[in-house]
Structure 1
């Protein structure tokens, strides 16, 4: 089984033949100046391959810094010699050329080799294991695979027809991944737009976008008049269990990173408090559906991010370290407070109240005088909450589909190429 894969398309039974990669690829070195030739500047990442730099870098600074850029033409393959052992390989499947750093290696597959098959194989576990064997450099973190090294690596290849089949299969997987990722990103942008438009701006009493049938001005109150604070515990993660306990605990780090605007307690796996004495100490602060947990500490301006409790059905849940738990004094529709308190309309009020340099925090007393606006109609609140929950559902759906196809691709990369490359 050394020179045939575990999974093959029907009709292909021949052994794969060994080639040196120097027979498979031809190195290219088309030097360009992106400013003079009006060509886009792109980068290369392990995760995404060939990636546009326009959103991440100052183009003028980079081009002035070094005019030694290489052109990656349609059908070309590009890799980073310094990160080749991590799979930093990209393929230009577009109809236009782009420019990359002169430090990268650019090449094209010779006749008789399918470009998409080659590009896929170059990032397979079998290929990466070969790079690690042949890479030069005494330190592992500084090992390189220059083209001269790549050229002597032996690997097995199927005939051209089988290459095309495999290349097309992975092309289809990549297309589906890209489709779901794009849908996910588009829905995130729509959500961001709606968060800006569905809540009134500062000193205004109505939002720009509103559901039909609602025309009344929104209420404006001080946070301290609308929400009363509960007591949080100060247990560290070391004091908690991932298996069993007497109560669930919401940690500030999970509010900042893991949880969304609405935390469905019944669906999320929460760490557990194991000390029964904690229950009697914090009995008056057991959380209820509709309560809001604010993370009061962070390493950036995300401090103040919150999650609204929902889906709680008999469980005991407490708000943990570096959080401020709040309970509304009147009934709000599910989701409204969670999405509003995370919107720019409210969160921008917290920015001037933040204290600290490396670690930023906002105090309970400072939050008391911030303004909260909301529609008087609970029905309108519910429609707003449902709107954003639907958007979040779509985001989760597309991300899950994207991740599922990535797992299929990962499995196929291990099994559609011979184990020894």
Structure 2
């Protein structure tokens, strides 16, 4: 597979993340509960195969809108972040970023998963041990990154989104064929 684009990253603008994103501080108790995972990004909490341990009182929960980037403040350095494709509410322990007009959340959702970015997030996280490291908005806002034009961000983000969609499709097909194989083996070797 080849990249359908080649960009001169030298021309990308150096900007602080605080110039790219604002923090969403709006609170709401109304909305679907969402979660942020390392592998799947932002998902509906109801899609997780685990018990709901969220607080009964959700009045302090953070509002999340479509296109926001949400991240686990204690696990950003491990890649626990993603772009939200739906509205919902999230535990106040998380941070929600609102993209500025010249920013593609899709692009940054992939950018934030790069090993070098995870290392930058790790170095900038604060706390005594890795169990308590935290990366809140005032700190992440100071991190300087290379930012392409919005057009380039959209092209790059769409390319990786298409790759993810293709991978997901093939994983579903693989699971289907594995089920067919298992069923055939069961029927073939009847005692």
Provide the TM-score with structure 1 as the length reference.
0.40
Structure 1 residue 8, shift from structure 2 partner: 8.3
1:141/1:154 CA distance change after superposition, 3 Å = same
Counterpart residue number, 1:52: 44
Whether the 8 Å CA contact 2:64–2:96 is kept in 1: the answer is: yes
Q: Does 1:165 align with 2:180?
A: no
1:137/1:62 CA distance change after superposition, 3 Å = closer
1:184/1:44 CA distance change after superposition, 3 Å = farther
1:58/1:49 CA distance change after superposition, 3 Å = same
Structure 1 residue 50, shift from structure 2 partner: 1.3
SS at 1:32 equivalent = coil
1:86/1:335 CA distance change after superposition, 3 Å = same
> Matches of 1:83 and 1:141 in 2, distance apart?
9
Deviation per residue, 1:153-200 (Å, 9 max, x gap): 111112222212111111111222232344456x39x94xx9xxxxxx
> Matches of 2:15 and 2:94 in 1, distance apart?
24
Runs of 5+ consecutive residues of structure 2 not aligned to the other structure: none
Whether the 8 Å CA contact 1:109–1:118 is kept in 2: the answer is: no
Aligned with 2:94 (options 104, 109, 113): 104
SS at 1:108 equivalent = strand
Aligned residue pairs total: 186
Structure 1 residue 138, shift from structure 2 partner: 2.3
How much is the aligned-residue C-alpha RMSD, in angstroms?
2.9
> Matches of 1:57 and 1:40 in 2, distance apart?
16
Deviation per residue, 1:351-383 (Å, 9 max, x gap): xxxxxxxxxxxxxxxxxxxxxxxxxxxxxx43x
Provide the TM-score with structure 2 as the length reference.
0.83
Runs of 5+ consecutive residues of structure 1 not aligned to the other structure: 1-6, 195-259, 263-333, 337-380, 386-421
Counterpart residue number, 2:69: 77
1:53/1:182 CA distance change after superposition, 3 Å = farther
> Matches of 1:20 and 1:148 in 2, distance apart?
11
Q: Does 1:43 align with 2:35?
A: yes
Structure 1 residue 143, shift from structure 2 partner: 1.3
Aligned with 1:17 (options 13, 17, 25): 13
Q: How does 1:121-270 map to 2 (within 5 A)?
A: 121-184=111-174, 187=176, 191=179
